[in-house]
Amino acid sequence: MEPHPSALEGVQSRLRAAVARMTGRSAWVPLFLFVFALAVRLVYAWDLRGNPFFDAPVVDAKTFLDQALAIAAGDLWGGAEAFWQAPGYIYFLASLCWLFPDSYFVAVRVAQAIVGSLSCLLVVRLADRAFGARHLALGAGAAAAAYGGLVQFEAELLAVGLEIFLFLLLLDRIQHALTARNDRSWLVAGLVGGLAAITRPNILLFLALLVPWLVWLRPKWDTTQGAAARLAGLSTTLRPLFLSGFGLMAVVLSVTVRNVVVGGDVVLISANGGINFHIGNNADQARVVAIPPGMAWEKMVTEPVRAGVTLPSQRSAYFYRKGLSYIAAQPGDFAALMASKLYQFWSGPELKRNQDVYYARRHSQLLSWLLWDRGLSFPFGIVGPLAIVGLVLTWRQREPALRLLRLFALSYMASVLLFFVTARYRMPAIPVLLIFAAWTCRQLVVDWRGGRYRSFAVLGGAVAVLTIVLNLPAATVPEDDAQLHFDLGEVYLRKGEYQRSAQHSLAALDLTSGQYNYARHNLAVAYFHLGRHREAVQDGQRAVEENPQRADTRVLLGRAYGAMDQARQAAAQFESALQLMPDSGMAHYYYGRLLYRSGRHQQAITHLAVARAQNPQDFWISYELARCHQHLGQFEEALALFETSRQIEESAEVLNAIGAVHFQRGDLPRARGFFERALGRSPRNLEAGVNLGLVDLEGGRVADAVQQLERMAAMHPQSKLALRTLIAAYEAGGNDAGAARVRRKLSLILNRGVKHQ
């Protein structure tokens, strides 16, 4: 049935009204802008599926996702320590993982595309209020919709898109409160500010500067006169500050209380501020800021612990003191460093942090149009100069909505300079800078159309000079990025593409003259899975020599030696790993497996039990622990553990194992049932098929046993197990000719040296 026209009109009018509330005017244009922005982001997200990082995030994105998945799984407190990173985005991500447990990689991109598109509408409204120029506002919104950096970051599992939305929403609510002058508006602004702060604490500098700015601004929007009126004016000033401050602290202190209750430490929001301050303020800042995840990073991060400082708040304070000591000891060097960071903030290229922004272009034709560096860094190499000119030339304009944007742009820039500059940290300033860039573009058009060619030339010349100066640096080339190759090697390891992993790990080592220990470890892991065990041992040994404290490299060496049937060397590596990390579940598991295969079942149980305590949901740990108990004749313990494995995954292996225990106990009917269920899941399962034949043989059903075993021998013609059991079945039935025929076949296999079970 066709929907009634009036119903469609009602839906359309409500949609237009919703968009109008976001932009301040009722029109179709903002809706088209939203659809355009969303389409751009969804097309890029579609392209991104070919990027190996799409479903295998690294560094901060992986940390965010791991924490979000833990929260979605029921750990609502988000761990047992004070938050290391601001939790706002983590809980946003967790909600999406909980709602879409099987498709969160897609759901997150779609949700963030919607959030990013709403941000474009907020840009329009902020610009319209600031300048009262509709075309300027729509131009700024359109630029945000197609801004390559925004599109790229909003598709990552990073907080950037949510930060931008909350920052813009905060500015919008403050602009509204300045004109509405009611309590609710200021309270809402404070609540939004709190959400922004627990997502990106940098905003606290802006909020701190907002207080004196509002006090200074008071005469502009309070026209009361006289002594009594002045007292009332003071109340008028303080009341918004109190209400917005209450909303802000209600959100922020909820995180602080959580950190105290759960982590036992007084951390306002997150504990990573100190290390970031030190990274951005030290005598060797260019080198320190470029340290990739690895040995050098771990050494730096654990420096407070080695000095006896353990609590997260104390570790953060330790690094703050280091940064401040540098500033006090070398003020001239610090001033030069700040000048360098100021230039970095306004320069065209997108500076990497963790991942190279330009690498994503390889997997998206759309992004390759929207983001590039070819002498000119597009788009910021153009936007930056335009924004600087706009900020300078609008300095005398007194409109509070405009002043607010200026205060945000400058204070947020200062908050970045206090730490260090990267594309990711610069990005939240971009939407507001686009507004000032749009003003400059409009002014150029106005001057040209108005015949003010001299003004046009001066303005255009300033933009041109800034464009040249700010585009002098060149962006890094992804092919020369050792960390990118390391990350790709890591990701391909997770995906089981070991040859490609080895190639990228080798590239990372080549680019660092062999000085990338984590890449060498990954190379050894790739070689192990490729069956190149000797090379795995060689690179594993070199990795251990470089980093003797890394337990997982020793576990890898133990596995490689075990694969080469060098049990003594394997055991030595596992024992060394356990000395370094006694609670390593991985070391206990693989050492337990080695002991089990060596027939030392009781010792194997000790290690496998520790591994299981740490990983109770791991199928294979419970399964192999059960096999140990089975070999020791401890059938009740074995059955209980096999049942645990079956609850995790009802595989043919565990069904066969349960049947084998019942067979050993003489319960043939129950054993048969489990063997048949195992074959139902995997008809070619050799052990289950042979065991079913043995049940028939034990029960005196020789003909059925022969038929079953012939079937398994046909499926596995090189299997010595199937052939030997079939020989026994023929002999049990007195069929010497059949036994002799199978024996000849087995003899041929043995003579050819075919190694098969």
| DSSP for 514-541, written as a single string | T--HHHHHHHHHHHHHTT-HHHHHHHHH
CB within 8 Å of 640: residues ≥ 6 apart:
626
Mean pLDDT value of segment 379-385? 98
Say if residue 10's pLDDT is above 80.
Answer: no
Give DSSP secondary structure letters for 689-745. HHHHHHHHHHTT-HHHHHHHHHHHHHHSTT-HHHHHHHHHHHHHTT-HHHHHHHHHH
What confidence tens digit (pLDDT) does each residue in 353-369 have?
878 899 999 999 999 99
Say if residue 19's pLDDT is above 80.
Answer: no
Quick one: DSSP state of residue 292? P
Mean pLDDT value of segment 597-612? 94
Contact 94, 11 (CB under 8 A): no
Instruction: Identify the bridge partners of residue 373 per DSSP, sorted by sequence position.
Output: 377
Cite the DSSP H helix spans in 450-514: 453-470, 482-495, 498-511
Contact 487, 53 (CB under 8 A): yes
Mean pLDDT value of segment 610-639? 93
Neighbours of 423 (CB within 10 A): 23
Phi and psi at 353, nearest 5°, equal -145, 115
Q: What is the reported pLDDT for 289?
A: 92
CA 730 – CA 740 distance, rounded (Å): 9
What confidence tens digit (pLDDT) does each residue in 238-262 have?
888 899 999 999 999 999 999 999 9
Angle between the N-to-C axes of helices 702-715 and 720-732, in degrees from 0 to 180, rounded to the nearest 10? 160
What confidence tens digit (pLDDT) does each residue in 104-131 have?
999 999 999 999 999 999 999 999 999 9
Q: Which residue's entry shows tokens 């003003």?
A: 439
Q: Residue 426: enclosing H or E segment and its boundaries?
A: helix 423-426
- Sign of the Cα pseudo-torsion (289, 290, 296, 302, in order): positive
Q: What is the reported pLDDT for 675?
A: 92
Contact 474, 348 (CB under 8 A): no
Mean pLDDT over each residue of the chain, to the nearest integer:
91
CA 618 – CA 626 distance, rounded (Å): 13
CA 110 – CA 87 distance, rounded (Å): 21
What confidence tens digit (pLDDT) does each residue in 538-589 have?
999 999 999 998 999 999 999 999 999 999 999 999 999 999 999 999 999 9
Say if residue 3's pLDDT is above 50.
Answer: no
Contact 278, 321 (CB under 8 A): no
Mean pLDDT value of segment 528-539? 96
Quick one: DSSP state of residue 363? G
Contact 202, 280 (CB under 8 A): no
CA 78 – CA 97 distance, rounded (Å): 14
Contact 292, 59 (CB under 8 A): no
What confidence tens digit (pLDDT) does each residue in 47-97 have?
999 999 999 999 999 999 999 999 999 999 999 999 999 999 999 999 999
Quick one: DSSP state of residue 355? B
Quick one: DSSP state of residue 372? E
CB within 8 Å of 596: residues ≥ 6 apart:
604, 608, 624, 627, 628, 631
The C-alpha torsion from 506 through 512 and 515 to 517, rounded to 10°, is -50
Reported pTM: 0.87
The Cα-based distances of 202 to 248, 349, 427, 612 in angstroms read 14, 22, 13, 42
CA 719 – CA 749 distance, rounded (Å): 9
Q: Which residue's entry shows tokens 């059955």?
A: 639
Q: Tokens for 228, please give them.
A: 């009594």
Mean pLDDT value of segment 169-181? 93
